[in-house]
Amino acid sequence: MATLQAIKYNDGHLEILDQLLLPESCIYIPINNVQDAWGAIREMKVRGAPAIAIVGSLSLAVELRKLAAPETKKDLHSLVKEKLDYLVTSRPTAVNMQLAAEACIKLSNNLVDKDSVDAAEAKDVVVKQLEATLANDIADNLAIGEHGATDITKKCGNKDKLRIMTHCNTGSLATAGYGTALGVIRSLHKANLLDQVYCTETRPYNQGSRLTAFELVYEKIPATLICDNMAAAAMKQFKIDAVIVGADRVAANGDTANKIGTYQLAVLAKSHNILFYVAAPFSSIDFQIPTGLSIPIEERPHSEMTHTGNIRTAAAGIHCWNPGFDVTPAELITGGIVTEKGVFKPDQLVA
Ligand SMILES: CSC[C@H]1O[C@H](OP(=O)(O)O)[C@H](O)[C@@H]1O
């Protein structure tokens, strides 16, 4: 069965599934330029570290395909840099958009001095790189799924059925398709090795109950929704075999920023002697920062905590703290970091 598609791109035409309307409605909206993409990312109509980078990159491809060839390659480079620098400001914690922007800016800069390539050809080269982010991510996720399923199965003593806990949404709605942590879960399910997935609600924006539960039900993967405050009791009651989560930014030493609530799951997994995995493509690894201390943590609007839709659920006037992410220290990532290149101990990551 095909998995859900968060992103639809064809020949310069881009649409995204408006994830704020899920699970009630499946509505695709057009993204016609980088400004549309910036707004959709900021409002979390599309979210998830890889999906943010892909939608940002494709939105620039959409714009460039509509543009006549620039006068010079210097003009092209200035435009590409301006647009990508702007997209990077949409959300600060996930590194994928920043890394994709740096790679494309470097490419357009290198083309300036390449005499064999004119301005029109340079634009085509840049567009192709931007468009490649989609297919590259799907390939990465399929590899992550296989590496992760193999490693978890082995480290859990080749049990015939596994119980896995996961947090937030790391599936087809956070990527170009298949997913990272949820990709590992899909691979376990495909291999008939999955007893049950326990997905957390993931307050306050409920990516777990709104999005992950939607994906799992859609594909008939056996799953149970739990509130975030049930995690410890569920680990004990259901004898969870492993916890696997995604990542928004992994530092060079393996410290990992992920959705708020991940750190406490890692602490709970440690105290229950349960393997804790992070699943992330290398496009989420920031080798430019030594530890998690340098990862910027996005503060989200307080209304995401005090309201459910338009309904107020917290006392007016109460002060709120709403960090979108927290950092899990590398030493708590006991299962390893699952990437498209294999599973690594957190201190074994090499660029
Ligand atoms: C494929 S990893 C997605 C990653 O992004 C999520 O955050 P958000 O929904 O705010 O974009 C969460 O941290 C996931 O693990």
Range of the domain at 58: 7-137
Give distance in angstroms: CA of 245 to centre of ligand 1.
9
What integer is the mean pLDDT of 56-74?
A: 96
CB of 258 closer than 8 Å to CB of 248: yes
Closest C-alpha to ligand 1, atom 8: 48
Helices and strands of the chain, counted as H and E runs = 11, 16
Both 107 and 159 in one domain: the answer is: no
Both 115 and 162 in one domain: the answer is: no
CATH number of 129's domain: 1.20.120.420
CB-ligand 1 contact for 133 (6 Å cutoff): no
What pLDDT score was predicted for residue 346? 96
Q: State the chain's maximal CA–CA distance in angstroms.
A: 66
The total number of structural domains that make up the chain: 2
Compute the C-alpha angle 66/72/74, nearest 5°: 100
Is 311 domain-assigned? Answer: yes
So what's the ipTM on this one? Answer: 0.98
Closest C-alpha to ligand 1, atom 15: 246
133-to-92, 95, 139, 206 alpha-carbon distances in Å: 20, 14, 10, 27
CB-ligand 1 contact for 172 (6 Å cutoff): no
Both 23 and 111 in one domain: the answer is: yes
Is 52 domain-assigned? Answer: yes
Secondary structure (H, E, C), 245-307:
ECCCEEECCCCEEEECCHHHHHHHHHHCCCEEEEECCHHHEECCCCCHHHCCCCECCCHHHHE
Q: Which of 269, 262, 320, 335 has its CA nearest to residue 292?
A: 262
Taking the CA of residue 207 as reference, the ligand 1 atom at the shortest distance is 9
Is 2 domain-assigned? Answer: no
CB-ligand 1 contact for 187 (6 Å cutoff): no
Ligand 1, from 228, 258, 284: best to mutate by most atoms within 8 Å of Cβ? Answer: 258
User: Distance (Å, rounded) from C-alpha 256 to C-alpha 218?
Assistant: 29
Both 164 and 115 in one domain: the answer is: no
Give distance in angstroms: CA of 137 to centre of ligand 1.
15
Q: Which residues of 319-338 are buried (b: 16+ CB within 10 A; e: fewer)?
A: eeebebbbbbbbebbbbbbb
Is 36 domain-assigned? Answer: yes
Both 227 and 95 in one domain: the answer is: no
Is 1 domain-assigned? Answer: no
Q: What is the pLDDT of residues 17-54, one digit of tens each?
A: 999 999 999 999 999 999 999 999 999 999 999 999 99
Closest C-alpha to ligand 1, atom 11: 48
Both 197 and 306 in one domain: the answer is: yes
Q: What is the pLDDT of residues 187-234, one digit of tens each?
A: 999 999 999 999 999 999 999 999 999 999 999 999 999 999 999 999
Is 111 domain-assigned? Answer: yes
Last residue of a domain, one of 83, 104, 137: 137
Both 287 and 181 in one domain: the answer is: yes
Is the pLDDT confidence value at 3 over 70? no
Burial class (CB in 10 A: 0-12, 13-18, 19+), 67: exposed
Q: What is the pLDDT of residues 227-286, one digit of tens each?
A: 999 999 999 999 999 999 999 999 999 999 999 999 999 999 999 999 999 999 999 999
Both 158 and 221 in one domain: the answer is: yes
Residues annotated as catalytic are 248
Is the pLDDT confidence value at 1 over 50? no
Both 76 and 118 in one domain: the answer is: yes
CB-ligand 1 contact for 98 (6 Å cutoff): no
In sign, the C-alpha dihedral spanning 4, 7, 8, 10 is: negative
CB-ligand 1 contact for 258 (6 Å cutoff): yes
Both 88 and 160 in one domain: the answer is: no
CB-ligand 1 contact for 167 (6 Å cutoff): no
CB of 169 closer than 8 Å to CB of 212: yes
Residues in contact with 8: Cβ distance below 8 Å, sequence separation at least 6, in sequence order = 14, 15, 16, 28
Both 177 and 293 in one domain: the answer is: yes
CB of 174 closer than 8 Å to CB of 200: no
Closest C-alpha to ligand 1, atom 1: 170
What integer is the mean pLDDT of 289-310?
A: 96
CATH number of 208's domain: 3.40.50.10470
**Angle at which helices 73-88 and 119-155 pack, to 10 degrees?**
40
Both 305 and 180 in one domain: the answer is: yes
Amino acid at 333: I
Last residue of a domain, one of 118, 137, 156: 137
The rounded Cα 275 to chain-centroid distance in angstroms is 21
CB-ligand 1 contact for 168 (6 Å cutoff): yes
On the question of a cis peptide bond just before residue 30, with omega within 30 degrees of 0, the verdict is no
Last residue of a domain, one of 92, 112, 137: 137
